[in-house]
């Protein structure tokens, strides 16, 4: 424990405590503020933030992973886990119902993008951004400076060089026309949660969305039992929500709404359960559902998380991919893997961080390193798609 404490203090002194931040942007607020400064107080709380590992600790974790992945599941068994993936999760929800996972009340704090932005604020930001771009463009004209070929701008163009009229931009903001009727077709702000399970994210979100006119939530899962649990919940209402069975790995399976209409997609502890060879196609398909400017919000297991280190030999499917005793699977990501996968899908990185925490079992007097990866990726706006 002294190693953990010394490592944390060193980073505090050096100003290296990680923050919730967007790429290239100064952080707005720290991801967490409960810092362990006295090792004697480690068991006073259940969780400590910003617990960066020492080189020795990371090396021990790496060796542990090498050990538990030395023996892999037989190929024929791996095929069974892939083909019957939905059956294992369906059995999971038949067994545990909605009692296994806690409600994710932290979602609105970490992902404010799942709520509509204040319109007055949006207008002020838009005006400020456009004024800045006009000013920059004027300077470029005066100095003869040009943007290199292939560069991507994240700001709107000045009126003088825009290829889009104000009507075009408004249409991109709204998404496809409303000639087609579908669940939520009259909404002005739409969210999809992928892998909704028993609704541990759905209902904390719905409790807020139902007070915001024009908002609508879609949620899907490939386990029929999970979708039924959501629909049978007392807070479920078709006026605000549409729950449906869907396998995101099946690219031929249609969604109950057209492409390009979603303002936000929530992908939380879902991608890790999919075979690594299929992850890229899933992210690309989800990207097509977003409207320009829409956000894909991600959180999942990180490399060397305690959950990975606890796997026994013989549970490894492939590198950093494991199967649990109940047949459900889990992959453990790095920040670099997430960056590559989401950018390959045509999305722009706005946030990509590793969340290191120390989880404490005060009853058993045990401390465990937890590692999660969290990211926010945006579908480019029309003016950023320049040749």
Letter string b/e over residues 185-207, b meaning 16 or more CB atoms within 10 A of that residue's CB: eebebbbbbbbbbbbbbbbbbbe
The C-alpha atoms of residue 31 and residue 356 are separated, in whole angstroms, by 10
Query: Among 15-29, 58-72, 163-177, 236-250, which is the least confidently predicted range?
Result: 15-29
For the chain, helix, strand, coil in percent to 5 are: 40, 20, 40
Q: Which strands form 321-323's sheet, in the order they lie side by side?
A: 316-318, 321-323, 329-331
Q: What is the DSSP letter of 143?
A: H
Whether the predicted pLDDT of 241 surpasses 90: yes
Alpha-carbon span 186 to 215, nearest angstrom: 9
Write out pLDDT tens, residues 135-173: 443 343 344 333 333 333 333 333 333 333 344 444 444
What is the Cα Rg of the chain in Å? 23
Q: What is the mean pLDDT of residues 287-308?
A: 97
Query: Which contiguous run of DSSP H or E holds residue 190?
Result: strand 189-194
Average pLDDT for 87-112: 83
Average pLDDT over residues 74-93: 91
- Which tens digit of pLDDT belongs to each residue from 184-208? 999 999 999 999 998 999 999 999 9
Chain mean position to CA 85: 21
Average pLDDT, the chain: 79
What percent of the chain is modeled with pLDDT above 90? 54
pTM for the model: 0.76
DSSP class of residue 368 equals E
Q: Is the pLDDT score of 272 beyond 70?
A: yes
Nearest to 53 by CA among 383, 368, 322, 378: 368
Strand blocks (E) in 284-331: 290-301, 316-318, 321-323, 329-331
pLDDT, one tens digit per residue, over 338-355 is 999 999 999 999 999 999
φ, ψ of residue 244 in degrees (nearest 5):
-150, 155
Between 162 and 243, the more confident residue is: 243
Percentage of the chain with pLDDT > 70?
Answer: 74
Asked if pLDDT for residue 94 goes beyond 60, the answer is: yes
With beta carbons less than 8 A apart as the criterion, state whether 350 and 295 touch.
yes
For β-strands 321-323 and 316-318, DSSP reports them as: antiparallel
Residue 34's pLDDT is 80
SS3 71: coil
| Phi, psi (rounded to 5 degrees) for 159 | -60, -30
Min mean pLDDT across 1-5, 257-261, 353-357 is at 1-5
Instruction: Give the up-direction half-sphere exposure of residue 248: CA atoms within 13 A in the CB hemisphere.
Output: 28
- pLDDT band for position 118 (50/70/90)? low
Q: What average pLDDT does range 87-111 have in this prediction?
A: 83
Q: What is the reported pLDDT for 212?
A: 92
Residue 372 confidence (pLDDT) above 90: yes
pLDDT tens column, 5-52: 444 444 444 444 333 334 433 333 345 778 777 777 777 777 777 777
3-state secondary structure of 270: coil
Considering only residues 147 and 254, tell me which one the structure prediction assigns the higher pLDDT.
Answer: 254
Does the pLDDT value for residue 90 go beyond 50? yes
pLDDT at residue 123, as a whole number: 37
- 336: pLDDT strictly greater than 90: yes
From edge to edge, which strands make up the β-sheet containing 348-361? 47-49, 348-361, 366-378, 290-301, 262-268, 189-194, 215-221, 241-245
pLDDT at 176: 53
Q: Which of 161-170, 292-301, 363-372 has the highest mean pLDDT?
A: 292-301
Treating both helix axes as pointing N-terminal to C-terminal, what angle do 55-68 and 2-14 enclose, rounded to 10 degrees? 130
pLDDT value of residue 162: 35
**Which one is predicted more confidently, 210 or 201?**
201
Q: What is the dihedral of CA 47, 49, 52, 58, to 10 degrees?
A: 30
Residue 236: partners with Cβ closer than 8 Å, 6 or more residues away? 199, 202, 206, 230, 243
| pLDDT (0 to 100) of residue 385 | 62
What is each CA distance from 217 to 166, 185, 255, 286, in whole angstroms?
Answer: 28, 11, 13, 15
């Amino acid at each position: 424990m002294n190693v953990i404490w010394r490592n944390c203090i060193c980073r505090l002194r050096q100003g290296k405590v990680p923050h919730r931040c967007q790429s290239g942007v100064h952080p707005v607020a720290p991801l967490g503020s409960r810092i362990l400064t006295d090792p004697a107080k480690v068991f006073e709380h259940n969780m400590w933030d910003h617990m960066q590992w020492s080189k020795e600790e990371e090396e021990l974790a790496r060796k542990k992973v090498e050990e538990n992945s030395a023996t892999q599941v037989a190929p024929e068994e791996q095929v069974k886990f892939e083909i019957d993936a939905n059956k294992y999760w369906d059995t999971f929800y038949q067994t545990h119902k909605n009692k296994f996972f806690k409600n994710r009340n932290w979602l609105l704090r970490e992902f404010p993008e799942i709520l509509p932005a204040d319109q007055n604020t949006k207008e002020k930001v838009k005006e400020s951004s456009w004024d800045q771009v006009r000013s920059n463009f004027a300077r470029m004209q005066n100095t003869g400076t040009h943007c290199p070929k292939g560069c991507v701008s994240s700001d709107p163009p000045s009126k003088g060089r825009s290829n889009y009229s104000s009507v075009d931009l408004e249409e991109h903001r709204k998404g496809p026309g409303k000639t087609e009727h579908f669940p939520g077709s009259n909404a002005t702000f739409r969210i999809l949660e992928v892998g909704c399970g028993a609704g541990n994210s759905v209902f904390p979100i719905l409790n807020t969305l139902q007070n915001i006119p024009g908002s609508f939530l879609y949620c899907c899962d490939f386990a029929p039992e999970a979708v039924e649990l959501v629909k049978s919940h007392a807070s479920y209402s078709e006026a605000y929500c549409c729950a449906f069975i869907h396998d995101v790995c099946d690219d031929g399976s249609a969604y109950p709404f057209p492409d390009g209409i979603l303002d936000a997609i929530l992908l939380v502890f879902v991608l890790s359960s999919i075979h690594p060879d299929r992850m890229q196609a899933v992210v690309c398909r989800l990207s097509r559902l977003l409207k320009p400017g829409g956000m894909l919000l991600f959180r999942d297991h990180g490399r060397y998380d305690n959950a990975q280190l606890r796997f026994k030999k013989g549970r490894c499917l492939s590198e950093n991919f494991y199967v649990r005793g109940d047949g459900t699977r889990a992959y453990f990501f790095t920040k670099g893997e997430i960056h590559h996968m989401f950018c390959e899908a045509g999305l722009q990185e706005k946030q990509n961080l590793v969340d290191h925490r120390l989880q404490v079992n005060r009853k058993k007097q045990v401390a465990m390193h937890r590692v999660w990866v969290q990211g926010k990726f945006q579908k480019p706006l029309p003016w950023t798609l320049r040749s």
